[in-house]
Amino acid sequence: MFETYAMTEERVLALAGLFQAAALAQQLANDGRCDETAFESSLSSVFRIDAPSVVSVYGKIGGVRLGLRQLIAQLDDTGRDMGVTRMAVTVMRLERSLSRHRHLLDDLQKGIVAAQRQVEHFGQDSPQVVKRLAELYAATLSPLKPRVMVTGNPQQLQQPKVVEKVRASLLAAVRSAVLWRQIGGRQWQLLLYRRQCSMLARGLLTGVTLDNG
């Protein structure tokens, strides 16, 4: 059992995807802007439903560079952002809630397919696509418990465009939480295999740095 549930690079990558999307939502809530390269990668993951591998969900390992850094910070208590940690854990619980609502899962999948058509027309990170993903999150995931609470600068959170990007980021976080669960990830592993997870994340991040992503 413990071998089956031990941390693997694939599970660490899925976790990095989750923490990256949570960090992007927090950046947006605080500053109204975020790491655009990471945002593009996280947005892409939403549309890669039938990707052949975990890495390909994010394009390449460098696609979750920000997420690996965040994960290491959370696990090692170095510059930990509790807002990001709480968000990531809540998203894991939200994903479990979503899995019990078949009709919402179906609506979510149909919505992503519809948004994919907009991607082909407007481009993936276009305001139209971001808005569509935000609306999809609001319609399918916002009604579920637990609700993901995002706190930050009230002035930024009153800006519709910022809120749309926050919701699109949270949808990407749920995408990674689904992936994490599909490949055997469980919340308790973060405690039991904390050190192993950190070491694997550091190794992946070093590899990205050496080959420039």
pLDDT tens, residue by residue, 88-124: 999 999 999 999 999 999 999 999 999 999 998 888 8
Whether the pLDDT of residue 45 is over 60: the answer is yes
* 197-213: average pLDDT: 86
Taking a C-beta distance cutoff of 8 angstroms, is the pair 30, 81 a contact? no
Separation of alpha carbons 45 and 63, rounded Å: 10
10 Å CB burial of residue 117 (0-12, 13-18, 19+) is exposed
Is 2-211 assigned to CATH 1.10.3890.10? yes
Closest alpha carbon to 74 in 66, 82, 64: 82
pLDDT in tens, 55-98: 999 999 999 999 999 999 998 877 778 899 999 999 999 999 99
Residue 213 clears pLDDT 50, i.e. is over it: no
Indicate if the alpha-carbon torsion angle 102, 173, 91, 61 is positive or negative.
Answer: positive
Residue 1 has pLDDT above 80, yes or no: no
Mean pLDDT (the chain, rounded) = 92
| Proportion of the chain above pLDDT 90, given as a percent | 81
What does the domain layout of the chain look like in residue ranges? 2-211
User: What one-letter code names the amino acid at 94?
Assistant: L
Q: What confidence tens digit (pLDDT) does each residue in 176-196 have?
A: 999 999 999 998 998 899 999
